[in-house]
């Protein structure tokens, strides 16, 4: 272990210990990478600094909050300094009164102002040993200062881009997010199936989190929608902390200018008793709860007040619902949903209103395609392009009377 080879930089309480430590303090004073990590700490501080192995990824932005995620190569805590005009506020990763310690860091920044720009900087201080008393610490690594803007339901326009079904192909992420970063999108939506199945944290980091974080540059937030393939594999049960919205779920609503966005979790694509799941799926009750939550979200005042309500989901037919598929469509019809954007099929498809009992169009974004959505008060414009930027389809929806 690297830490075992590093001499402790500072020693504990005993006077003799302090005397012994003085040369080490002097020798390493200038070598501290960033913070003064409490030079007089009475606990052991090793000259060990974490490295950031995944740069910050902004997730689930709202008008007043955002999630910041990053990774380090060794156990550390996680904090974010942020502010409008300086890094004068701090948010930490903590649960039940204790700072989180690990290599994956997730900090929720709340209490922000809608439509405001913020600067932020992540920091992780090494935790060498979590002992009951005198835990041993190390140095702090800091990321670069980055910027983001919160959503604002009162602004006149909004724009976002959608990708889906990247299925572990990193070049696919780089190609599409590279194009998207050329334009100032409010956020990017990934409609799920980031993996073929979830194998491990390392796999999930390598094939989705890291390339996405790098391409979005810590400034364009990601809204994630749950795909059926993220239900599969030995690491599927551990994906929540990496992907959940702030409330710990996969369904949520967000508002951006004229847009009211409702993200739904369309679950698996086969019944729970399908042999391939060997009795380990329990989607039936989860999807019924999801249906109730969908209805509740659609009945909120914003659904009727916003110029456009757009549903974001992975499977265009709502997935396996134990026979409730028509109820999902019915709720969307009753709420005058303007557009449903889905993926899953891996090819482009546009389902017109009335084709499947739906009063709203269903846009299915293909693999290696980007949907570009621009909303103003009276019109919702959508373009779909392929990985070469070639136009596949474009349409404009006029604001309905609701």
Residues contributing to the site for Fe ion (CB under 5 A): 193, 227-228, 344
**How many whole angstroms separate alpha carbon 306 and alpha carbon 219?**
26
Distances in Å between the alpha carbon of 4 and those of 61, 128, 129, 168, 226? 41, 10, 11, 36, 42
Burial label for 319, CB within 10 Å (0-12, 13-18, 19+), is buried
First to last CA, the chain: 64
DSSP lists the bridge partners of residue 23 as: none
Nearer to Fe ion, 28 or 196 (CB): 196
CB of 228 to Fe ion, least distance (A): 5
Nearer to Fe ion, 151 or 191 (CB): 191
DSSP per-residue codes, 169-209: -HHHHHHHHHHHTTS--SEEEE-S--SSS---HHHHIIIII
CB of 318 to Fe ion, least distance (A): 13
Query: Which residue has the CB atom at the shortest distance from Fe ion?
Result: 344
Nearer to Fe ion, 72 or 228 (CB): 228
311 touches 264 (CB < 8 A): yes
Nearer to Fe ion, 231 or 372 (CB): 231
CB of 5 to Fe ion, least distance (A): 47
Nearer to Fe ion, 272 or 374 (CB): 272
DSSP lists the bridge partners of residue 62 as: none
What share of residues in the chain are helix, strand, coil (percent, to 5)? Answer: 25, 30, 45
Length of the chain: 402
Nearer to Fe ion, 165 or 374 (CB): 165
CB of 223 to Fe ion, least distance (A): 17
Q: In what order do the strands lie in the sheet with 349-351?
A: 252-256, 259-263, 308-312, 339-342, 362-364, 349-351
Max Cα distance, the chain (Å): 83
Nearer to Fe ion, 193 or 256 (CB): 193
The first and second tokens of residue 175, run together, are 């190609």
DSSP class of residue 137 equals E
CB of 167 to Fe ion, least distance (A): 9
375 touches 159 (CB < 8 A): yes
CB of 227 to Fe ion, least distance (A): 5
Nearer to Fe ion, 67 or 283 (CB): 283
102 touches 68 (CB < 8 A): no
Nearer to Fe ion, 165 or 185 (CB): 165
Query: Of 341, 368, 184, which Cα lies nearest the Cα of 259?
Result: 341
CB of 137 to Fe ion, least distance (A): 44
CB of 277 to Fe ion, least distance (A): 15
DSSP lists the bridge partners of residue 174 as: none
CB of 229 to Fe ion, least distance (A): 6
């Amino acid at each position: 272990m690297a830490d075992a080879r590093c001499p402790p930089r500072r020693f504990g309480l005993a006077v003799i210990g302090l005397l012994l430590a003085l040369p080490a303090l002097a020798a390493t004073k200038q070598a501290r990478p960033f913070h003064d990590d409490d030079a007089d700490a009475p606990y052991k501080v090793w000259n060990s600094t974490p490295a950031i192995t995944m740069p910050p990824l902004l997730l689930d932005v709202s008008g007043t909050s955002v999630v910041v995620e990053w990774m380090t190569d060794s156990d550390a805590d996680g904090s974010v300094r942020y502010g409008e005009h300086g890094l004068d506020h701090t948010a930490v990763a903590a649960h039940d009164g204790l700072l989180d310690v690990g290599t994956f860091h997730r900090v929720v920044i709340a209490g922000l102002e809608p439509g405001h720009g913020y600067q932020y900087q992540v920091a992780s201080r090494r935790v060498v040993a979590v002992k009951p008393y005198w835990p041993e610490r190390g140095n702090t690594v800091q990321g670069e200062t980055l910027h983001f803007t919160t959503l604002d339901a009162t602004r006149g326009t909004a724009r976002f881009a959608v990708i889906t079904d990247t299925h572990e192909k990193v070049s696919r992420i780089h190609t599409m997010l590279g194009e998207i970063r050329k334009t100032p999108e409010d956020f990017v939506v990934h409609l799920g199936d980031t993996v073929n199945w979830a194998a491990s944290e390392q796999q999930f980091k390598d094939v989705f989190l890291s390339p996405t974080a790098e391409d979005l540059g810590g400034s364009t937030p990601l809204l994630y929608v749950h795909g059926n393939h993220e239900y599969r594999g030995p690491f599927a049960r551990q994906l929540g902390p990496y992907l959940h919205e702030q409330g710990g779920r996969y369904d949520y609503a967000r508002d951006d200018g004229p847009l009211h966005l409702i993200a739904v979790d369309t679950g698996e694509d086969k019944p729970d008793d399908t042999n391939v799941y060997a009795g380990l799926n329990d989607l039936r009750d989860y999807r019924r709860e999801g249906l109730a939550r969908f209805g509740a979200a659609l009945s909120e005042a914003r659904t009727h007040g916003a110029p456009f309500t757009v549903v974001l989901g992975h499977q265009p037919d709502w997935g396996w619902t134990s026979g409730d598929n028509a109820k999902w469509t019915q709720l969307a019809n009753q709420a005058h949903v303007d557009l449903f954007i889905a993926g899953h099929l891996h090819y482009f498809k546009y389902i017109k209103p009335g084709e499947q009992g739906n009063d709203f169009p269903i846009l299915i974004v293909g693999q290696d395609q980007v949907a570009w959505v621009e909303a103003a008060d009276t019109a919702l414009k959508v373009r779909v392009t392929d990985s070469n930027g070639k136009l596949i389809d474009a349409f404009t929806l006029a604001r309905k009377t609701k």
